[in-house]
């Protein structure tokens, strides 16, 4: 798997990306993934190539799509298929790209690939997931095979001499012999691998879009035989299975998913259809599907814009949603506008509103630690929606050799050329943002504070996408350092990650790996019944009080009360976390702190946490003494320490308080 990139995700979709959520806050040339996709899979059947004959839309009724709407859309589409950007043959359009400094090394890098053998396809590595449950071996094999194609295509479009075409055609024909488009983890029954059935996943849809873009960009530079073979495989592996799902409402369940799979697979599939399907009515079917099914993605956001998947998957899903928006906008001359949905504005601002302070963000759910919003994503959203995010608009640089969908989309004429900028720049993030419908509060110190402080206080429920059992958890930042933090997600998934053992085999996903109580020896339960009930909110310039009942998160019959209260005090620079608990009969109770800071116990009830230049004290006030335990958790993730604070005596009722303050204020 690709390791997480920190600081500055860009609007890219790399051909050999691992999971789709590597993102952060730095250079615009890093890979965004967003969120969790593995190496893209060029897969083609072993059958002899046949001329592609895309079927016209079925005359049978579609499960959700309206024939009348498809007829309206067909009128709006161009007579011939059209991809993003300008074809290689349009040298006037490519002139500015050829001379742009960001492309000066592309041809040289591609030249070094000429004559090099591509790593071979390996059945053994593809099937490794079926045997061991490990994802990286098969995904790396696929990624290594596909890595050379993109730079070769960019180089040919820039140079336009045909020098790279033999290598490109060889790759396309080689990939046509690979047995599967789909990632091993998404092909558990091996139907794709065996050729007995085809499903569309994150990898196959994204790759299909780039394949189609290659045919569009290179045009008749690609030989008729190779073009026919690629089109046949696109039809077999992508278009035909999706038409069947559109018709029956079965299969490809991501069509109804309220999370990142939905826009990623839709953008790839619709992009491929628009670029290569010759029948305008056929293309209209896919446009109608993109318009209709993408509503499920936005339904996954609360009205105030909270993304339960966390920042990494917000990057991945939102970047592909805006790609889908651009595809539909360009194909219909602006007549189909996904950004007309009233929910998009707040959903777009999630990447801004979830910031604590100093560009530090929580790693909620499976988001890897260190992730932040992609600058290019927010730059595009700000321009398109008039959000006034000048910081991100100024950083947006479309002139870069990215993947073959996002790259041409940004470089050549697009919807932003006619977008009206906001009349004024958006003000700062403010003292707080309350995602009320989600039960998540972001608190920040006042501007100009000597030591900036920020926190995310999480209610929510335990049935969110990529859920961790984390009701009542919190992340605390002083300066630029997270002293108490959510553990975030793993570098790689395996066969047990999303199975019945998710919360028992992994401390990372269980509440045991979060800074929430262990009640009567029990961790939190998963599911919608485990839901925080917000009891009180008091927000002032001086402090924020946030109180929630989290008892439903524990399957503990003896538990009668568990109320967690947070007080974020801007005057004293402190965060106070209080638990009021009551049992029918005395039971054990344990607090927890999760941190990547160094720590030491400096007194019976005080722990010092140090990260970078920041040092804070956690003071524990409890009815009795506690036992302090330390455990390093490194379940294929950025390692972190869980500090357990277990009361030495059973508790019938009482209040346990943790106060966090800068060490200099102690």
Q: DSSP secondary-structure letter at 418?
A: G
Alpha-carbon gap, residue 348 to 231, rounded angstroms: 35
Is 261 in the same domain as 220?
A: yes
In a domain, 656, yes or no: yes
Q: Is residue 411 part of a domain?
A: yes
Beta bridge partners of 601: 607
Residue 405 lies in a domain: yes
Kindly calculate the radius of gyration of the chain based on its CA atoms and give it in whole angstroms.
Answer: 26
What pLDDT score does 425 carry? 83
Q: How far apart are CA 54 and CA 276, in angstroms?
A: 10
As a whole number, mean pLDDT of residues 411-423 equals: 86
Domain boundary at 389, 418, 447, which?
418
Structural domain total, the chain: 2
Task: Tell me, yes or no, whether 315 and 452 share the same domain.
Answer: no
For 596-630, b where at least 16 C-beta lie within 10 A, e where not — what string? bbebeeeeebebbbbbeebbbbbbbebeeebebee
∠ CA(77), CA(320), CA(210), 5° rounding? 70
**Residue that has been written with the tokens 């396309």 in this structure:** 172
Q: Residue 19: what pLDDT? A: 36
Question: Do 630 and 654 share a domain, yes or no?
Answer: yes
Which is more confident, 26 or 76?
76
Range with lowest mean pLDDT among 295-299, 486-490, 518-522: 486-490
The residue assigned the tokens 């379940």 is 635
Tokens 């100093």 identify what position? Answer: 358
Q: Is residue 563 in a domain?
A: yes
User: HSE-up of 614 (CA within 13 Å, CB side)?
Assistant: 20
pTM: predicted TM-score of the whole model, two decimal places: 0.90
Q: Same structural domain for residues 345 and 437?
A: no
Find the mean pLDDT for residues 74-94.
97
CA 329 to chain CA centroid, Å, is: 23
Q: Residues near 98 by Cβ (< 8 Å), separated by ≥ 6?
A: 158
Choose the final residue of a domain: 418, 452, 472: 418
For residues 404 and 447, state if they share a domain: no
Determine the pLDDT at residue 633: 95
At 516, which CATH number? 2.70.98.70
The answer to whether residue 267 sits within a structural domain is yes
Question: What 8-state DSSP symbol labels residue 367?
Answer: P
Average pLDDT over every residue of 438-461: 96
Instruction: List phi, psi (to 5°) of 149.
Output: -65, -50
Please report where in the chains the tokens 């607090």 appear, as a residue. Answer: 591
Pull the structure tokens for residue 305: 């814009």
Alpha helices by DSSP H, listed for 454-571, are none
Q: What is the pLDDT of residue 27?
A: 30
Mean pLDDT of the chain: 90
pLDDT band at 59 (very low <50, low <70, confident <90, very high): low
Q: Indicate if 121 and 73 belong to the same structural domain.
A: yes
Q: How many angstroms separate the CA atoms of 324 and 330, rounded?
A: 10
Same-domain check for residues 217 and 287: yes
Nearest to residue 85, comparing CAs of 210, 258, 255, 269? 210
**Residue 474 and residue 566 in contact, taking contact as beta carbons nearer than 8 Å:** yes
Element (H, E) at 72: helix 67-76
Q: Reduce the secondary structure of 106-151 to three states and give it as a string.
A: HHHHHHCCCCCCCCCCCHHHHCHHHHHCECHHHHHHHHHHHCCHHH
CB 234 within 8 A of CB 226: no
pLDDT at 613 > cutoff 70: yes
- Would the pLDDT of 52 be above 60? no
Interaxial angle between packed helices 149-159 and 202-218, expressed in degrees from 0 to 180 and rounded to the nearest 10: 20
Quote the CA–CA distance of 162 and 501 in Å, as a whole number.
53
- Is 17 a domain residue? no
Nearest to 654 by CA among 606, 622, 626, 627: 622
105 & 137 share domain: yes
483 neighbors 387 (Cβ within 8 angstroms) = no
The tens digit of pLDDT for each residue in 261-301 reads: 999 999 999 999 999 999 999 999 999 999 999 999 999 99
Same domain (yes/no): 440, 401: no
Q: Is residue 51 assigned to a domain? A: no
The answer to whether residues 405 and 521 belong to one domain is no
Among 537, 542, 546, 540, smallest CA distance to 565 is for 546
Q: What is the mean pLDDT of residues 590-605?
A: 97
Q: What three-state secondary structure class fits 20?
A: coil
> Nearest-CA neighbor of 18 among 490, 377, 573?
490
**Which token pair is 296?**
């499920």
Task: Evaluate whether residue 53 is within a structural domain.
Answer: no
2-47: per-residue pLDDT in tens? 333 333 333 444 343 333 333 333 333 333 333 333 333 323 333 3
Among 542, 575, 593, which residue's Cα sits nearest to residue 665?
Answer: 575
User: What tens digit of pLDDT does each residue of 387-404 get?
Assistant: 999 989 887 778 888 899
Which pLDDT does position 46 carry in this prediction? 30
Q: How far apart are CA 523 and CA 514, in angstroms?
A: 10
Instruction: State the Cα–Cα distance between residues 180 and 184, nearest whole angstrom.
Output: 9
Helices (H), 176-201: 191-194
Q: Give me the domain span that covers residue 330.
A: 67-418
Residues 341 and 440 in one domain: no
Shared-domain flag, residues 278 and 395: yes
Residue 310: give its domain's CATH number: 1.50.10.100
Task: State the Cα–Cα distance between residues 278 and 82, nearest whole angstrom.
Answer: 10
Given 418, 447, 469, the domain boundary residue is: 418
At 328, list the tokens: 């539909």
Residue range 637-655: average pLDDT?
96
């Amino acid at each position: 798997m690709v390791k997480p990139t920190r600081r500055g995700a860009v609007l890219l979709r790399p051909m050999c990306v691992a999971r789709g959520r590597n993102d952060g806050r730095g250079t615009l040339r890093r890979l965004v993934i967003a969120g969790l996709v593995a190496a893209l899979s060029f897969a083609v059947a072993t059958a002899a190539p046949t001329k592609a004959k895309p079927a016209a839309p079925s005359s049978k009724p579609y499960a959700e799509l309206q024939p009348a709407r498809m007829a309206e859309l067909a009128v709006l589409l161009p007579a011939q298929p059209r991809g993003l950007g300008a074809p290689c043959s349009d040298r006037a359009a490519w002139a500015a790209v050829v001379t742009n400094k960001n492309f000066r090394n592309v041809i040289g890098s591609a030249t070094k690939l000429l004559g090099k053998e591509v790593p071979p396809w390996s059945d053994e590595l593809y099937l490794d997931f079926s045997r061991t449950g490990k994802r990286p071996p098969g995904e790396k094999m696929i990624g290594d095979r596909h890595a050379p194609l993109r730079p070769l295509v960019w180089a040919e479009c820039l140079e336009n001499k045909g020098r790279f075409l033999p290598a490109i055609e060889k790759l396309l024909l080689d990939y046509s012999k690979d047995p599967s488009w789909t990632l091993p983890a998404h092909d558990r029954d091996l139907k794709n691998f065996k050729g007995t059935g085809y499903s569309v996943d994150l990898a196959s849809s994204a790759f299909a879009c780039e394949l189609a873009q290659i045919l569009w960009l290179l045009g008749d530079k690609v030989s008729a035989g190779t073009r026919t073979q690629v089109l046949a495989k696109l039809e077999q592996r992508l278009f035909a299975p999706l038409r069947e799902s559109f018709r029956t409402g079965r299969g490809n369940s991501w069509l109804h998913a309220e999370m990142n799979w939905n826009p990623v697979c839709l953008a790839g599939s619709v992009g491929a259809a628009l670029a290569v399907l010759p029948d305008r009515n056929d293309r209209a079917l896919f446009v109608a599907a993109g318009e209709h099914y993408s509503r499920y993605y936005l339904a996954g956001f609360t009205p105030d814009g909270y993304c339960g998947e966390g920042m990494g998957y917000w990057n991945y899903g939102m970047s592909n949603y805006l790609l889908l928006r651009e595809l539909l906008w360009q194909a219909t001359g602006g007549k189909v506008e996904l950004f007309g949905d009233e929910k998009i504005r707040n959903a777009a601002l999630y990447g801004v509103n979830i910031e604590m302070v100093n560009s530090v963000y929580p790693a909620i759910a499976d988001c890897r630690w260190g992730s932040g919003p992609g600058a290019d994503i927010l730059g595009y959203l700000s321009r398109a929606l008039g959000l006034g995010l000048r910081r991100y608009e100024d950083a947006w640089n479309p002139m870069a050799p990215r993947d073959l969908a996002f790259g041409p989309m940004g470089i050549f004429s697009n919807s932003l050329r006619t977008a009206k900028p906001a009349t004024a720049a958006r003000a700062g993030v403010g003292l707080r943002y309350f995602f009320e419908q989600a039960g998540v509060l972001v608190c920040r110190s006042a501007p100009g504070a000597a030591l900036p402080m920020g926190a995310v206080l999480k209610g929510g429920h335990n049935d969110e996408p990529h859920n961790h059992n984390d009701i009542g958890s919190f992340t605390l930042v002083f300066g630029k350092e997270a002293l108490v933090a959510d553990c975030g997600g793993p570098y790689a998934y395996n066969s047990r990650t999303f199975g019945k053992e998710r919360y028992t085999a992994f401390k990372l996903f269980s509440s045991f790996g979060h800074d929430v109580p262990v009640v009567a020896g029990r961790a939190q339960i998963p599911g919608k019944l485990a839901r925080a009930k917000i009891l009180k909110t008091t927000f002032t310039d001086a402090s924020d009080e946030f109180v929630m009942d989290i008892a439903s998160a524990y399957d503990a019959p003896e538990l009668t009360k568990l109320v967690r209260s947070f007080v974020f005090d801007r005057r004293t620079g402190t965060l106070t976390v209080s638990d009021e608990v009551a049992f029918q009969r005395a039971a054990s109770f344990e607090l927890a702190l999760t941190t990547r800071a160094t720590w030491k116990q400096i007194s019976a009830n005080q722990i010092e946490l140090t990260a970078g230049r920041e040092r804070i004290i956690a003071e524990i006030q409890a009815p009795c003494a506690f036992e302090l335990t330390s455990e390093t958790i490194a379940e294929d993730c950025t390692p972190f320490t869980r500090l357990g604070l277990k009361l030495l005596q059973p508790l019938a009722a009482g209040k346990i308080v943790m106060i966090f303050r800068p060490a200099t204020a102690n």
